[in-house]
């Protein structure tokens, strides 16, 4: 079983273009059974109003997939948090989980949201900057895998270090309430050691994934409490996004 987590930067290539054909080619070349995507656009002007989840699902040959908006509107502009009560047919931004394996159930988890601006030290800046965080969400799927039933969770956590730990604990508590071992895929915005200690899960692949051209940090992870081992893994340069795709073969 091959799985991957990939922050696609709304399908943008290094030259700033959003190319649906390139995204499709990249996803097809990954050749995975389970794919977690982050920074996914739907109907956004900056990405040609494409449904990037649908593009990826078609290229992958997914039998089931879900896009989950974290916010409605334009990232960096006018937006509102997505909720179950809000219509989602307009511009949206969030995460996706795609599967070539049968999916028996889907569940939405809306993670704790840091609603107030917070000071944070950013690379290259001497003084802290005040940043506004976006809502964060997760998808939890019941998947029939070659290893048996799995609970698969996909997410993209906050970049605020003390807040993403709270979100990860919240997600693991929600996901482990489902039957079957847990496989967690996503951009967690933290390193391997912190991801393992906060989640109580085991990392199956350790490779720097960010920035894509010369990665020095692993932000993207595949974690599990299942008796699964990686037979091979890589942080694959794709020519898309500012992240590399973390690709893992599991047995």
CB 185 within 8 A of CB 216: no
> pLDDT truncated to tens, each residue of the chain (251 aa)?
999 999 999 999 888 899 999 999 999 999 999 999 999 999 999 999 999 999 999 999 999 999 999 999 999 889 999 988 766 788 999 999 999 999 999 999 999 998 888 787 777 777 777 878 899 999 999 999 988 999 999 999 999 999 999 999 999 999 998 888 999 999 999 999 999 999 999 999 999 999 999 999 999 999 999 999 999 999 999 999 999 999 999 99
pLDDT of res. 115: 84
Residue 18 tokens read as 């959003």
178/138 Cα distance (integer angstroms) = 14
250/15 Cα distance (integer angstroms) = 34
Q: Specify the pTM.
A: 0.96
Give, in words, the CATH class of 2-250.
alpha beta
Q: Where are the domains of the chain?
A: 2-250
pLDDT of res. 196: 98
Q: Minimal CA–CA distance to 217: which of 227, 228, 206?
A: 206
pLDDT of res. 132: 83
Q: In a 3-state reduction of DSSP, which class is residue 208?
A: coil
Q: Minimal CA–CA distance to 233: which of 221, 248, 223, 215?
A: 248
């Amino acid at each position: 079983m091959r799985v991957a987590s990939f922050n696609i930067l709304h399908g943008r290539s290094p030259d700033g273009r959003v190319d649906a054909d390139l995204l499709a080619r990249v996803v097809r070349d990954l050749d995975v059974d389970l794919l977690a995507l982050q920074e996914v656009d739907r109907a956004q002007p900056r990405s040609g109003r494409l449904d990037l989840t649908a593009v990826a699902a078609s290229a992958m040959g997914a039998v089931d997939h879900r896009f989950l908006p974290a916010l409605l509107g334009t990232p960096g502009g006018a937006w509102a948090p997505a909720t179950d009560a809000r219509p989602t047919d307009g511009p949206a931004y969030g995460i996706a989980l795609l599967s070539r394996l049968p999916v028996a159930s889907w569940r939405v988890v809306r993670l704790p949201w840091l609603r107030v601006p917070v000071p944070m030290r950013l690379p290259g800046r001497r003084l802290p900057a005040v940043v506004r965080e976006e809502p964060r969400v997760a998808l939890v799927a019941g998947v029939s895998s070659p290893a048996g039933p799995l609970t698969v969770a996909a997410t993209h956590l906050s970049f605020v270090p003390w807040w993403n730990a709270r979100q990860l604990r919240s997600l693991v508590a929600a996901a482990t309430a489902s039957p079957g071992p847990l496989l967690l895929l996503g951009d967690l915005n933290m390193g391997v050691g912190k991801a393992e200690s906060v989640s109580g899960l085991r990392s199956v692949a350790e490779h720097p994934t960010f920035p894509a051209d010369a990665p020095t940090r692993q932000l993207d992870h595949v974690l599990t409490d299942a008796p699964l081992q990686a037979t091979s893994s890589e942080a694959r340069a794709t020519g898309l996004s500012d992240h590399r795709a973390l690709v893992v073969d599991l047995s």
